[in-house]
Structure 1
Amino acid sequence: MILELNDLCCGYNGKAIIKDIRVSVGSGDVFCILGENGVGKSTLFKTILKLIPPVSGKVNIDGADISNWSAKKLASYCAYVAQSHTPPFPYSVREVIMTGRMGKINAFGRPGKKDEEIVDGLIEEMDLRDYENRPYTELSGGERQLVMIARALAQEPQCLVLDEPTANLDYGNKVLVLNTLQRLANRGMTIIFTTHDPEQALLLNAKTLVLFRGRPPLFGNANSVITEKNLKRAYNARIRVVEVLDEETFQQVRVCIPMLGGEENRT
């Protein structure tokens, strides 16, 4: 699958919030969107997911303009994982994942053998067997996020779109989710996500779009666009980008460290 954003301008009521987005990502790519709160990340997501129309420009998938696609056709390519989800009823983990199959089941129909097999496979893949029959609402934040990813994968998409998938998670659960995204990308799935942790783009070697206020967006490999200068422009804060040695792999890893004080930082 190839997703292209061609001279895309996004906004509401004909007024662009973000302009001139030019991006191309393919199967197996991780695409990370960075920028401060309110800069337009969610608006871009809504445009990609066809929840709002572009102000101008196009979103293409495999060379086709998606503007006339049905929701069902788009769902066969892209699945969305929201930042948080609280079901109205205490559904079990298995039941929540099965809801991802609803677009494949006839109205008033029941899940068939194929649906059950797909859900079983996702429960195994996400290591959720011990939680299969537990209420989703009783799980930890990281476990819930894995269930939401499994539900999205139940659609059998080619692209996974995630809004801040590690928000409000501790380090252990963040690593759990990031490892899952890396594994899916290695399998050939396109991963698109937003985050407030720029180093996640570095860890996943992501193609990265940085959104600025009052400046053109910047797109490229994470190692080229995540610099101290660009982070200062994006977040109006001093952020060091340094290399540290991973003593297990003996590889140099770049990390981002916010610095306190200084006139650049908000007070």
Structure 2
Amino acid sequence: MTMLRLNNLSFGYTPRQLIFENISFAVHPGEVFCIIGPNGCGKTTLIDSILGINQPQQGTIEVGGTQLAQLKPREFAQQIAYVPQSHTKTFPYTVLDIVVMGRTAATRGFGSPDSSQQQRARESLEQLGLKGFEERLYTELSGGELQLVLIARALTQDARIMVLDEPTAHLDFRHELMVMEIITWLVKEKELTIVMATHFLNQAFYLENAAVPTRVALMDQGKIAAIGTPSEVITKSNLKDVFKINSTTATTNEEGLQRKFIVPLKNIR
């Protein structure tokens, strides 16, 4: 079974200037699918297409075997939840208010969330280590705390796929690690499927080291250069061709666990 499938997808803001073209891949249940590549290669534009924001000029997107264009908003929300790269904090909602918004698709008409939906939101906050945050104003949260709250909102939605666009882009090292630990937990314990765009190549190795089923799609100039496991795709040769850097791979053995990671050495242009 395939959770998400892209078939020869192409998109551009004008017919003559495509951002990406002929993108095809399938995302399987219970895996993390990482989309990596240099700035400007089309990662976020591709994510926006998966979310239905961009209408492709060519090709199709299938979610659970159904064409994305055929899904009603409520049906889409049952399939895909989204955690954005950045979020503007406009009104001083409480954290609980923000997380309950993940139940919007399950609320009928102009109705308000009932007690069961409030409880579902509280469960998500507790699962992400945010118990006690319910009444805090989300406009007063740190960047790391806010990102965890947005993941809790997506978790509360109870969708089958969670899409994350650069989820650790603005976080310090500790909160980056917290998000990666949560992604690991979402796949292993909640059995979610994750699609994630990231600039941080070692995040794919982190997941592979943690025995999370992980594949990587390497984008270059609007096309897929390689798809496979992190060890298959994040190689010296590929990083030289796509990122124009010399690099090396290294391993460490701490606490009885062997971990692999990539070390950038030098720009070659």
Same fold (TM over 0.5): yes
Whole-angstrom distance in 1 between the partners of 2:71 and 2:145: 33
Q: CA deviation at 1:107?
A: 3.3
DSSP-derived class of the 1:178 partner: helix
Matched, 1:188 2:194: no
Whole-angstrom distance in 1 between the partners of 2:101 and 2:70: 26
Q: CA 1:135–1:203 in structure 2 vs 1: closer, same or farther (change >3 Å)?
A: same
Aligned residue for 1:89?
A: 91
Identity %: 36
Aligned residue for 2:228?
A: 220
Q: CA deviation at 1:5?
A: 1.2
Aligned residue for 1:77?
A: 79
Whole-angstrom distance in 1 between the partners of 2:103 and 2:83: 15
Whole-angstrom distance in 2 between the partners of 1:92 and 1:199: 34
Gaps of at least 5 residues in structure 1 are none
Matched, 1:200 2:206: no
Aligned residue for 1:4?
A: 5
TM-score norm. by structure 2 comes to 0.91
Q: 1:249 aligns with which of 246, 252, 256?
A: 256
Whole-angstrom distance in 2 between the partners of 1:68 and 1:16: 24
Decide whether the 8 Å contact of 1:91 with 1:135 is kept in 2: yes
| Residue identity matched to 1:229 | S
Whole-angstrom distance in 2 between the partners of 1:214 and 1:120: 41
Q: CA deviation at 1:70?
A: 2.3
Q: CA 1:38–1:26 in structure 2 vs 1: closer, same or farther (change >3 Å)?
A: same
- Which stretch has the larger CA shift, 153-162 or 56-65? 56-65
Whole-angstrom distance in 2 between the partners of 1:235 and 1:216: 14
Whole-angstrom distance in 1 between the partners of 2:161 and 2:234: 24
Aligned residue for 2:171?
A: 169
TM-score norm. by structure 1 comes to 0.92
Whole-angstrom distance in 1 between the partners of 2:19 and 2:180: 29
Q: CA deviation at 1:91?
A: 1.3
Aligned residue for 2:14?
A: 13
Whole-angstrom distance in 2 between the partners of 1:34 and 1:16: 19
Q: CA 1:238–1:73 in structure 2 vs 1: closer, same or farther (change >3 Å)?
A: same
Q: CA deviation at 1:201?
A: 1.0
| Residue identity matched to 2:226 | L
Measured on the aligned residues, the alpha-carbon RMSD in Å equals 1.7
Whole-angstrom distance in 2 between the partners of 1:188 and 1:119: 18
Whole-angstrom distance in 1 between the partners of 2:253 and 2:132: 32
Aligned residues: 261
Within-5 A mapping of 1:90-239: 90-186=92-188, 187-205=190-208, 206-213=214-221, 216-239=224-247
Q: CA deviation at 1:216?
A: 4.6
DSSP-derived class of the 1:131 partner: coil
DSSP-derived class of the 2:256 partner: coil
DSSP-derived class of the 2:49 partner: helix
Decide whether the 8 Å contact of 1:11 with 1:43 is kept in 2: no
